[in-house]
Structure 1
Amino acid sequence: MPTLIAAIFVTGGLGALARLSCQILGKKITLDFPIGTVAANILAAFCIGIVMPLEMPFELKAVIASGFIGSLGTLSSICSDMFLLIKDREFLRALLYVVCTVCLGYLAFTLGKTCGGLF
């Protein structure tokens, strides 16, 4: 059990760094829209779609899904970005942000699940 916790700790840190990288790159693209968080969440949805159908030991799935993927895509980042958009009275962008995150995330999940089902 300590090994599992340590592995989730390490992969969670890597997922958080990957999310931060997406956010930094997104800021270079546009300051007006949180495209980096959208990209991180879509990537996380795609990855969890791949992992879900795969047959693997519980511990390995926990390390990948709860560790890396869980920290790559986070609800807290979505909420933070939504708060800032609404605070700035960017209601249309906030709506676009939610729609992009949910719809594109679901499409990415479905695509990932299809890809994961191939293995």
Structure 2
Amino acid sequence: MKHLILVFIGGGLGSLARYGTGKASSVWPSNFPYGTLTANILACLILGVFTGWAAFRTPDSAATYRAFIAVGFCGGFSTFSTFSNDTIQLMAANRWTDAVFNIFASLISCFCATVLGMWLGKQLLNV
């Protein structure tokens, strides 16, 4: 039951962070989904940091943090469904260059953010 509550709270906080990221990115008017891209990159970075940190913990001690951070917060913060919808909307508007850029920018930057986060978690949080 404790993990369910942690997922619930983490997910709510992650969703609020996602909403705030979208609002913050809307100050620069654009037809490109920068808010979604930013939220996904940050969620991958956070998940990577957690994964790097958890590598030094026992599975039992990391399970509580995993429920709150990885499943809850990062699950609520990242948004693959919005990324997919944004990309399809760009295609429907015949903005193929933006759609392809969104796909590659998302995949490459999120992958790199996760790797960087794992390195940071292992290097800086090994306490």
TM-score, normalised to structure 2, is: 0.86
2:68 is equivalent to residue 63 of structure 1: yes
Consecutive aligned runs of 4 or more in structure 1 exceeding 3 Å deviation: none
Provide the rounded CA distance (Å) in 2 between the counterparts of 1:84 and 1:26. Answer: 18
User: How do 1:37-48 and structure 2 match up within 5 A?
Assistant: 37-48=36-47
Residue pair 2:21, 2:38 contacting (<8 A) in 1 also: yes
Residue matched to 2:14: 15
Residue matched to 2:98: 93
**Alignment deviations for residues 21-59 of structure 1 (CA, whole Å, 9 cap, x no partner):** 111222222321100110000001111111112224312
Q: CA RMSD in A?
A: 1.2
3-state SS of the aligned residue for 2:119? helix
Which runs of 5 or more structure 2 residues have no equivalent in the other structure? none
Residue matched to 1:3: 2
Q: Percent identity?
A: 28
Code of the residue aligned with 1:74 in structure 2: it is T
Q: Give the length in aligned residue pairs.
A: 118
Residue matched to 2:118: 113
Residue pair 1:11, 1:64 contacting (<8 A) in 2 also: yes
Provide the rounded CA distance (Å) in 2 between the counterparts of 1:95 and 1:84. Answer: 12
Code of the residue aligned with 1:21 in structure 2: it is G
Provide the rounded CA distance (Å) in 2 between the counterparts of 1:14 and 1:84. Answer: 27
Provide the rounded CA distance (Å) in 1 between the counterparts of 2:19 and 2:88. Answer: 18
